[in-house]
Amino acid sequence: MPEIKSQQNMTTDFGKVAVLMGGTSAEREISIETGSAVFDALCRLGVDAHVFDTRDRTLLDLVKEEFNRAFIALHGRGGEDGTIQGALQSMGIPYTGSGILGSALAIDKVRSKLIWKSIGLPTPDFIEVRPESDLKSVPIDLGFPLIVKPVNEGSSLGVAKVSNKYELLSACKKSFALDNRVLIEKWIVGKEYTAAVLNGKVLPMIALETPRVFYDFEAKYKESSTQYICPVDMEDHKKVKLEKLVKNAFYAIDASGWGRVDFMVDEEDNAWLIELNTVPGMTTHSLVPMSANQAGLSFDELVSSILETSINNCRDERVTLQ
């Protein structure tokens, strides 16, 4: 497990920290929950932390107010797609998590799957469609059932399982309201899992069980019936194999620092990579804190370890406003 620094050392090492949260994506409210939880933890740890809603403030304020680093708690576009990472890097402000390339690739479900497939990592068959695409050939290529997803959204927003062409057309229409690129993916029958990566370590996996059709937005944030099984009841050699798959998937996308890999294991015990989240949620319903707790890390220790990932994103030069 990553070594946890003392509160005194953290205050000295990190300086003035901006917790970037809110923003303008469809996941704004979840981001505010994540950012608020992170901010509270940093305050408890004695870090000089400040809330910074990127919807309401200009990033130049980070330079004007002499912030030393940023904890990125922004979900979705503008926060996980390399945009904020590029801005911070250009200003010389260290930030948590993945860099520009890893962030941009991970949020794009199509690009990440193409990379995984290119190096032989398992991911369900899929096609990408746009508003002008002919959807008539989709069932012939992939068969039903299918799962429909906006390419660049998170939190299962706009995601739906479809069993016929009428449902497919309806689901695509709803997804296009969120994104002009939509992923249509082969439905995998099996168990859903997730595994967090933190500073090169794979934290204990979590099995997700829900009475709903799949682990959708309602199951993630609202349903009390969702079950989270951690530790997972699985033979050690299978765990080792899945942990290796998770790390390979994480680094293939050039992710770094921390993140979460979602995957499934079908009825024949085959694993299938679903997606990679570079800024996972840190709310009361979130998975990474559950996994970290199983590994012996409190929420505050987890937040501290994530903030440590900003050390690898340091640059010598800083922007000076005239």
Rounded Cα gap, residues 113 and 88, in angstroms: 27
Residues in CB range of 228: below 8 A, 6 or more apart: 206, 207, 208, 209, 287, 290
Is 155 one of the catalytic residues? yes
Rounded Cα gap, residues 152 and 250, in angstroms: 18
Rounded Cα gap, residues 52 and 32, in angstroms: 10
Is 143 one of the catalytic residues? no
Rounded Cα gap, residues 266 and 174, in angstroms: 28
Is 221 one of the catalytic residues? yes
Q: Name the active-site residue from 262, 291, 305, 308.
A: 262
* Residue with token string 């801005």: 87
Is 193 one of the catalytic residues? no
Is 46 one of the catalytic residues? no
For 96, 169, 256, 298, 311, the CA distances from 279, given in Å and listed in that order, are: 9, 31, 11, 18, 17
Say whether 23 sits in a helix, a strand or coil: coil
Q: Name the active-site residue from 97, 175, 221, 301.
A: 221
Q: Name the active-site residue from 25, 31, 152, 155.
A: 155
Residues in CB range of 211: below 8 A, 6 or more apart: 225
Beta bridge partners of 196: 260
The Cα angle at residue 264 between residues 172 and 1, in degrees rounded to 5:
125
Rounded Cα gap, residues 96 and 308, in angstroms: 7
What torsion do the CA atoms of 37, 43, 45, 49 make, to the nearest 10 degrees? 100
Is 277 one of the catalytic residues? yes
Beta bridge partners of 50: 18
Is 130 one of the catalytic residues? no
Token pair belonging to 168: 């497919």
Environment class of 322 (CB within 10 Å of its CB; exposed 0-12, middle 13-18, buried 19+) = exposed
Q: Name the active-site residue from 22, 23, 27, 95.
A: 27
Is 260 one of the catalytic residues? yes
Among all residues, which ones are annotated catalytic?
27, 155, 221, 260, 262, 275, 277, 281
